[in-house]
Amino acid sequence: MVAVSAPVTRRLPSRSYLTGAVLLAWIALWVLLNGRDTLPLGGAQLTPLHTRFGEGADVIDANRDSNPVFLYFVNYIRLFIDATVTFVQALISQPSFGRPVPLVGWLGVTGVATAIAYLYGNRKVAVLTAAGFVSFGLLGLWEESMDTLALTLTAVALSLAVGIPLGVWAGLSDRFNRVVTPVLDFMQTMPTFVYLAPLTLFFLIGPASATVATMIYAIPPAIRLTAHGIRQTPPATLEAAEALGVTGGQSLRKVRLPLAKQTIVVGINQTIMAALSMATIAALIDAPGLGKTVLKALQTLDVGTAFNAGLAIVIMAIVLDRVTSAASRRVEIAHRTGRSGRRRLRRMETAATAVAAVVLVYLSYTYVWAAEFPAGADLGSYVRRGADAASGWVQETLVAYTNGLKNAITYALLNPFEALLAGSPWWLVAVVAVALALLLAGVRASITAAVGCVLLVALGLWHDSMVTLATTLVATLLVMVLGVVLGVWMGRSDRVDRVLRPVLDAGQTMPAFVYLVPILGLFGATRFTAIIAAVVFAAPVSVKLVAEGIRGVPHTAVEAATAGGASTWQLISKVQLPMARAGITLAASQGLIYVLSMVVVGGLVGAGALGYDVVAGFSQYQLRGKGLAAGLAIVVLGIVLDRIMRAAAARAGGSSATR
């Protein structure tokens, strides 16, 4: 790179000139070639490859009960998981054992949950838990909520059973860590949406697929944070233990694990939140629970019902998050309740709480009033009607504003982007993509871009991919505008940070699905809805990363510039933003991944293109192969974008470090 371009000092400007030149050339050629070789494919049209994918799926279906891999491996996993989920459902959500109600009724579940919250967290989260669980009943969604909870808890239990040992291994072994890290990266960059369809091929539609999909999404944080916790044991402590002659097992049990406990609990928190998020999305493959209610309502554009169920999901997310966060804080102080007197008190308290929970469980097992949530107090219908009314009112009253915003963004950004990407000949876009990747991210990224373009064409979904890409890029642009504005503000002011951070934290704990609901209420079903949902979903992470980058700028640099008489604006534009470049690029790459996964979910509410292809593949048998191909196309898009962004981020970080 250095050899072909101008001397070192002029490298940066010359690179940005070249980038500009590439873009200009693209636009000029687009004017000439607009509409040629764009490879469009109608909604119901299939390519031979799609047909072949469909046939492949049929083959798997046909051999499920004869192929040894299925017979002796996959099917057992499926049966085991199905049985586990069904068992948990029999406990808390579905009529079972010849009873008209589950084994444990609402009072019992609420009691046990509250007791757990009290014992592992504190009084405050216990109250929150009780209120939260009661509200599921009040919203008229007890059974759905328990189904979601059953699925989430099963997936979490299995994820932890697999993830924590793997995390310990990755924490102890550098080699295993090197192997597992890229796998986890891949699992986390893949938009959640796309592995649902392939999974149903192996595990059929139902709880097993839903659980495995949830595990794929929820395991990475458990592994990562466990490994991180194990790794960050202070070397001095380890050395001291070793000098005393500990065995490997003792060092793990008595030193590393206790010291990593808090980090591991944070990992458990993230695993639970991810599992809840995915358990709702798994409604697409017929997972029972709240997600299904939301999905059905989204498909019929029934904002009220979607909002009601969305509210229950949000409440569940808040309860689970608060309880596990409190538990992780508790770990910190748990051992401090040392002295024997306090210890005895604590033991009595534990016993009393447990007894109370058992009594409630017994009551809910025996009496109908404690088993079935009383139907009288139906808050749900009020919420539904209220949300409907509010959405109707908003759409009518704010129509001028919402339409204004919608049109501004659609005409100023979305349409031009889409025209350029989807209207240019495919080979032109490919050449531009390779050239830009080369300029911004280096040779390897440009090879990835080239391979990606070829794959998209081969998958027969070039046009749809470009439409999705346009939506993704527009949403990412908006995310970055928001990210930089809010991030700089947050990074520069502690007060803003204090106000904004909890909001962003809350935003990040929400399952992706629920974002669609209020935005659907505001803007109706369009491409634009998907974009806004994606922006709302992705902004928190980007804002935080930018803020971190700004905070990371050395104090001395800021001080020197201030002493030199720089204005606030100069300080931001000439010192803080350039020095935070690596953080900002990282924010863009993370934001992009989040956006992509949400834009695809937006296929449910009219975003069309790849997202629609995937959804259609779920519901229509003959489009199955195309749905699989669309899933692959999304993965290809994700990987290519992620690689380019990462390489560009590394380059930005590197060049800012050498300056």
Partner 1 sequence: MTVPTVEREERPAPATDDDRPAVLDVRGLWKVFGQRAERVVGTPLATLDRAELKRATGCVAAVRDVSFSVRRGEVFVVMGLSGSGKSTLVRCLNRLIEPTAGQVLLDGEDVLGYAGKRLRELRRHRFGMVFQHFGLLPHRRVLDNVAFGLEIRGVKKADRLARAQEVLELVGLAGFEGSYPDQLSGGMQQRVGLARALAVDPEVLFFDEPFSALDPLIRREMQNEVIRLHHEVGKTMIFITHDLSEALKLGDRILIMRDGALVQMGTPDEVVGAPADDYVRDFVSDVPRSDVLTLRWIMRDATPDDPLDGPELGPDTVIRDAVRTVLSARRPVKVVRDGRLLGVVTTAEVLEVIAGAGGQS
Q: Which is nearer to partner 1, 250 or 353 (CB)?
A: 250
Distance CA 602, CA 525 (A): 9
335 binds partner 1 (CB under 8 A): yes
Q: Which is nearer to partner 1, 23 or 246 (CB)?
A: 246
Residues binding partner 1: what is the number (CB under 8 A)?
23
Among 32, 100, 336, 659, binds partner 1 (CB under 8 A): 336
Q: Which is nearer to partner 1, 257 or 470 (CB)?
A: 257
Instruction: Evaluate whether 275 touches 214 at the Cβ level (below 8 Å).
Output: yes
Among 131, 134, 241, 561, binds partner 1 (CB under 8 A): 241
Among 8, 32, 243, 400, binds partner 1 (CB under 8 A): 243
Widest CA span in the chain: 85
For 642, other C-beta atoms within 10 Å of its C-beta total: 21
Among 52, 124, 254, 498, binds partner 1 (CB under 8 A): 254
Q: Which is nearer to partner 1, 336 or 555 (CB)?
A: 336
Distance CA 320, CA 250 (A): 33
Q: Which is nearer to partner 1, 255 or 592 (CB)?
A: 255
Among 339, 495, 555, 659, binds partner 1 (CB under 8 A): 339
Among 173, 247, 337, 397, binds partner 1 (CB under 8 A): 247
- Subset of 588-627 contacting partner 1 (CB under 8 A): none
* Part in contact with partner 1 (CB under 8 A); list of ranges 216-224, 319-327, 336-344, 512-520: 336-344
Helix (H, G, I), strand (E, B) or coil at 561: helix
Q: Which is nearer to partner 1, 22 or 238 (CB)?
A: 238
String marking each residue 215-234 x if it binds partner 1 according to CB under 8 A? -------------------x
CA torsion sign, 398 to 399 to 404 to 405?
positive
345 binds partner 1 (CB under 8 A): no
- 121 token code pair: 């967290």
Cα atoms in the Cβ-side hemisphere of radius 13 Å centred on 417: 19
Q: Which is nearer to partner 1, 129 or 262 (CB)?
A: 262
Distance CA 556, CA 563 (A): 10
Q: Which is nearer to partner 1, 116 or 241 (CB)?
A: 241
Nearest to 85 by CA among 159, 152, 160: 152
Cβ 344 to partner 1 shortest distance, Å: 15
* Cα 418 → chain centroid: 26
341 binds partner 1 (CB under 8 A): no
333 binds partner 1 (CB under 8 A): no
Q: Which is nearer to partner 1, 123 or 253 (CB)?
A: 253
Cβ 236 to partner 1 shortest distance, Å: 4
* Part in contact with partner 1 (CB under 8 A); list of ranges 237-245, 395-403, 506-514, 574-582: 237-245
Cβ 535 to partner 1 shortest distance, Å: 42
- Report CA Rg, the chain: 27
Cβ 262 to partner 1 shortest distance, Å: 10
250 binds partner 1 (CB under 8 A): yes
Among 91, 119, 246, 413, binds partner 1 (CB under 8 A): 246
Cβ 234 to partner 1 shortest distance, Å: 7
Among 245, 341, 376, 502, binds partner 1 (CB under 8 A): 245
Nearest to 463 by CA among 266, 645, 649, 608: 608
Nearest to 92 by CA among 371, 292, 379, 314: 371
Nearest to 594 by CA among 536, 547, 553, 650: 536
Nearest to 628 by CA among 202, 52, 197: 197
Nearest to 277 by CA among 611, 613, 597, 606: 597
Cβ 264 to partner 1 shortest distance, Å: 13
Q: Which is nearer to partner 1, 234 or 554 (CB)?
A: 234
For 2, other C-beta atoms within 10 Å of its C-beta total: 8
Instruction: Evaluate whether 445 touches 507 at the Cβ level (below 8 Å).
Output: no
For 260, other C-beta atoms within 10 Å of its C-beta total: 24
- 461 token code pair: 């979904």
Cβ 390 to partner 1 shortest distance, Å: 50
Distance CA 547, CA 26 (A): 34
Cβ 341 to partner 1 shortest distance, Å: 11
Please list the alpha-helical segments (H only) found in 121-141: 123-138
Distance CA 19, CA 443 (A): 15
Pick left, alpha or beta for residue 606 (phi over 0 → left; psi -120 to 50 → alpha; otherwise beta). left
368 binds partner 1 (CB under 8 A): no
573 binds partner 1 (CB under 8 A): no
The set of residues, in sequence order, having a beta carbon less than 8 Å from that of 61 and lying 6+ positions away, is 201
182 binds partner 1 (CB under 8 A): no
Q: Which is nearer to partner 1, 174 or 239 (CB)?
A: 239
- Subset of 460-489 contacting partner 1 (CB under 8 A): none
Cβ 240 to partner 1 shortest distance, Å: 3
Instruction: Evaluate whether 265 touches 328 at the Cβ level (below 8 Å).
Output: yes
300 binds partner 1 (CB under 8 A): no
Distance CA 245, CA 254 (A): 13
For 384, other C-beta atoms within 10 Å of its C-beta total: 23
Q: Which is nearer to partner 1, 182 or 249 (CB)?
A: 249
Euclidean distance between the first and final Cα of the chain, in Å?
Answer: 18
Q: Which is nearer to partner 1, 18 or 238 (CB)?
A: 238
Q: Which is nearer to partner 1, 32 or 236 (CB)?
A: 236
The set of residues, in sequence order, having a beta carbon less than 8 Å from that of 558 and lying 6+ positions away, is 571, 575, 576
Instruction: Evaluate whether 17 touches 25 at the Cβ level (below 8 Å).
Output: no
User: What's the CA angle centered on 314, arms 94 and 594, to 5 degrees?
Assistant: 115
Helix (H, G, I), strand (E, B) or coil at 302: coil
Cβ 239 to partner 1 shortest distance, Å: 6
Cβ 241 to partner 1 shortest distance, Å: 7
Q: Which is nearer to partner 1, 3 or 244 (CB)?
A: 244
DSSP H or E run through 7: none
258 binds partner 1 (CB under 8 A): yes
Cβ 259 to partner 1 shortest distance, Å: 7
- 262 token code pair: 């808090």
Among 162, 184, 259, 450, binds partner 1 (CB under 8 A): 259
Distance CA 17, CA 14 (A): 5
Cβ 338 to partner 1 shortest distance, Å: 6
- Subset of 260-289 contacting partner 1 (CB under 8 A): 261
* Part in contact with partner 1 (CB under 8 A); list of ranges 71-79, 254-262, 271-279, 540-548: 254-262
- 529 token code pair: 């809805």
Q: Where does this chain bind partner 1 (CB under 8 A)?
A: 234, 236-247, 250, 254-255, 258-259, 261, 335-336, 338-339
